[in-house]
Amino acid sequence: MKRVYNFSAGPSILPLEVLEKAQKELLSYADSGMSVMELSHRSKLFTEVIEKAEQDLRELMNIPDNYKVLFLQGGATLQFSMVPLNLMQNGKAGFVHTGSWSKKAIQEAEKFGEVEVIASSADRGFNYIPNLDEVEFDPELDYIHITTNNTIEGTAFTDIPDTGNIPLVADMSSNILSEAIDVNKFGIIYAGAQKNIGPAGLTIVIIREDLIGKAKADCPIMLDYKTHSESNSLYNTPPTFGIYMASLVFEWLKGLGGIEAMEAKNRKKAQLLYDFLDESDFFTTPVDKASRSFMNIPFVTPSKELDAAFIEEAKAAGLETLKGHRSVGGMRASIYNAMPVEGVELLVDVMREFEKKHHD
List, by residue number, the catalytic residues. 101, 171, 195
Helices (H) and strands (E) in the chain, counts: 9, 13
Interface with ligand PLP includes 277 (CB under 6 A)?
A: no
Q: Quick one: which of 299, 319, 303 has its CA closest to 358?
A: 303
Could you tell me the smallest distance in angstroms from the CB atom of residue 150 to ligand PLP?
7
Residue 320 Cβ vs ligand PLP, minimum distance, rounded to whole Å = 17
Q: Which residues are annotated as a binding site for pyridoxal 5'-phosphate?
A: 76-77, 101, 151, 171, 194, 236-237
Does 155 participate in binding ligand PLP (rule CB under 6 A)?
A: no
Judged by CB, which is closer to ligand PLP: 76, or 328? 76
Site string for ligand PLP, 89-108 (x = CB under 6 A): ------------x-------
8 A C-beta contact, residue 60 and residue 250: yes
Half-sphere exposure of 59 (CA within 13 A, CB side): 15
Q: Please pick, from the candidates 50, 57, 76, 205, the single residue that binds ligand PLP as defined by CB under 6 A.
A: 76
Among 121, 127, 147, 233, binds ligand PLP (CB under 6 A): 147
Q: Which of 77, 90, 280, 284 binds ligand PLP (CB under 6 A)?
A: 77
What is the number of alpha carbons within 13 Å of residue 283 lying toward its C-beta? 29
Q: How far is CA 100 from the centre of its chain?
A: 14
Q: Which is nearer to ligand PLP, 39 or 339 (CB)?
A: 339
Distance CA 108, CA 102 (A): 10
Q: Does 196 help bind ligand PLP (rule: CB under 6 A)?
A: no
Scanning 72-80, 155-163, 213-221, 304-312 for contacts with ligand PLP by CB under 6 A, the matching segment is 72-80
Contact predicate 183/62, CB 8 Å:
yes
Binding residues: 42, 76-77, 101, 151, 171, 194, 236-237
Stretch that binds ligand PLP, among 84-92, 171-179, 236-244, 317-325 (CB under 6 A): 171-179
Q: Candidates 98, 174, 178, 233: give the one binding ligand PLP (CB under 6 A).
A: 174
For residue 24, CA distances in Å to 13, 50, 167, 285 come to: 19, 19, 43, 41
> By rule CB under 6 A, what count of residues binds ligand PLP?
11
Q: Residues with Cβ < 8 Å from 208, sequence gap 6 or more?
A: 66, 67, 167, 186, 187, 188
151 contacts ligand PLP (rule: CB under 6 A): yes
Strands (E), 81-202: 92-97, 114-120, 143-147, 149-150, 155-156, 168-171, 188-192
Whole-number Å distance between alpha carbons of 186 and 336 = 22
Is residue 171 close enough to count as binding ligand PLP by CB under 6 A?
yes
Of the candidates 10, 198, 238, 298, which one interacts with ligand PLP according to CB under 6 A? 10
Q: Can the peptide bond before residue 11 be classed as cis, meaning omega within 30 degrees of 0?
A: yes
Residues that bind ligand PLP (CB under 6 A): 10, 75-77, 101, 147, 151, 171, 173-174, 192
